[in-house]
Amino acid sequence: MFSSRVPAGRRVNRLSQAHARLRAQGIEVTDLTESNPTRVGLHYPPGLLDALASPGGLRYEPTPRGAPEARQAVAAWLSQPSCFGDSPVATASREGAEAGRVSGPSPVDPERIALTASTSEAYACLFKLLCDPGDRVLVPQPSYPLLEHLARFEGLEPVPYPLEYHGAWRIDGAALTDAIDPRPRAIIVVNPNNPTGSFLAPDDRCALTTFCRERELRLIVDEVFNPYPIDPLPGSGRSVLERSADVLTFVLGGLSKAVGLPQVKLGWIVVDGPEDEVDATLDALDLLLDTYLSVSTPVQLAAERLLTEGTSLTEQIRARITANHRILARVVAQHPAAGLLRTEGGWYAVIQVPATETEETLALRLLEQDRVLVHPGYFFDFPREAFLVTSLLPEPDRFEAAVTRVLARTTGR
Ligand SMILES: Cc1ncc(COP(=O)(O)O)c(C=O)c1O
């Protein structure tokens, strides 16, 4: 087994530099890291953004937590079962359909919702709210690389806690306990996680609740990919909002993934937990949000229509990731030396390949010789090699051709 313990940023740079060079030479590369939904051939209804031109947007009447009608729209969206992926496409997956029989989300109180310009901004707000510079926050590993930057930009120390794969990704409880000295202020859970696709398992949630209560930790649950189940474990809870929280919990989401509109810039935080703590937290959040008032009036006025009319995008993305996941499973099955890790949900899939060379060398070879860009696992801090991460968003024909080349190269067949 080869290991490349060079800082991930530097090594990813070599890959992006090589990609930029090929682009400059006019060489076509299939980008399997593409996660921008507006660039993968989905159909965006031409009038989808008309609601942003509402004349009401000419008046400025800011409210810290966001306009009541916008918060109401988000609450209604979160409270409908379909936002958690109960679509015919999502439930077409056999085990997904079994797991789909859940009670559905509880109604969300709009008063407990605060709007932000994005999920990334929501993290920044919560870090300011819950932590002081120098404090520690627990961050899952492997996970979304931006979490580390978001924490560091607020002067915090991100402390990784490992997820372990044994046919499904679970929190390593012993390692989590080891990571709590000195005491962190908050723990982040990504549900489902990027890129492992793992939902928070019901017993992991129970254990985490106890853990947070005993150690006075705040729970931040990033659910941007929650509307996109693919192959969830039977019985796996999907949104933590389906059951009210016993500890102070912040659930994050946004238009960027919910309806494939990252450019529109609207995110949200749902505050859940014991009532007195929620009330005090909302007061503090009001003060913080009032200092920035970063969410534009037009997007707040348009929120209801964007969430309602954006359903067609949610459905298209579900169809796309389900189709590509099926293609990937078929292609990987033809290569016994490789394996597809279980993808419970989200927009990414993880392929384990023989570690005959470093992930970096392999990713560069795939780029230079096969004209395919993939993320090496180290980009997400996988604990060992060799893993490749692919987005499930690219157009299916190109996706199939590219993953076929990836598997042929990595398994030597
Ligand atoms: C897990 C996760 N959270 C948050 C974000 C950022 O979302 P937003 O565009 O709302 O800032 C991403 C973007 O890919 C993500 O993967």
Mean pLDDT of 205-226: 96
Cβ atoms 121, 269 nearer than 8 A? no
* Cα 185 to Cα 15, 121, 182, 260, 398, distances in angstroms: 35, 18, 10, 32, 44
Residues 187 and 127 in one domain: yes
Rounded mean pLDDT of 53-74?
A: 97
169 Cβ below 6 A of ligand 1 = no
Indicate whether 141 and 270 sit together in one domain.
yes
Domain match, 159 and 301 both: yes
168-196 pLDDT per residue, tens: 999 999 999 998 889 899 999 999 999 99
Q: What is the pLDDT of residues 266-303, one digit of tens each?
A: 999 999 999 999 999 999 999 999 999 999 999 999 99
In the chain, count H helices and then E strands. 13, 14
Mutate to test the pocket of ligand 1, among 200, 224, 265 (most ligand atoms within 8 A of CB): 224
Query: Which residue segment(s) compose the domain that 194 sits in?
Result: 52-310
pLDDT at 62 over 50: yes
- Percentage of residues in the chain with pLDDT exceeding 70? 91
Same domain assignment for residues 90 and 223: yes
Domain end marker among 248, 280, 310: 310
CB of 140 shorter than 6 A to ligand 1: no
Q: 217 C-alpha vs ligand 1 centroid, how far in Å?
A: 23
Structural domains counted in the chain: 2
Ligand 1 centre distance from Cα of residue 267 (Å): 10
> For position 287, which CATH number holds?
3.40.640.10
Q: CA angle at residue 153 from 151 to 157, to 5 degrees?
A: 40
Over 126-167, what HEC string results?
HHHHHCCCCCEEEEEECCCCHHHHHHHHCCCEEEEEEEEECC
Is residue 47 domain-resident? no
Tokens 């009001």: give the residue: 286
Does residue 1 form part of some domain? no
In a domain, 395, yes or no: yes
Residue 93 lies in a domain: yes
Residue 146 lies in a domain: yes
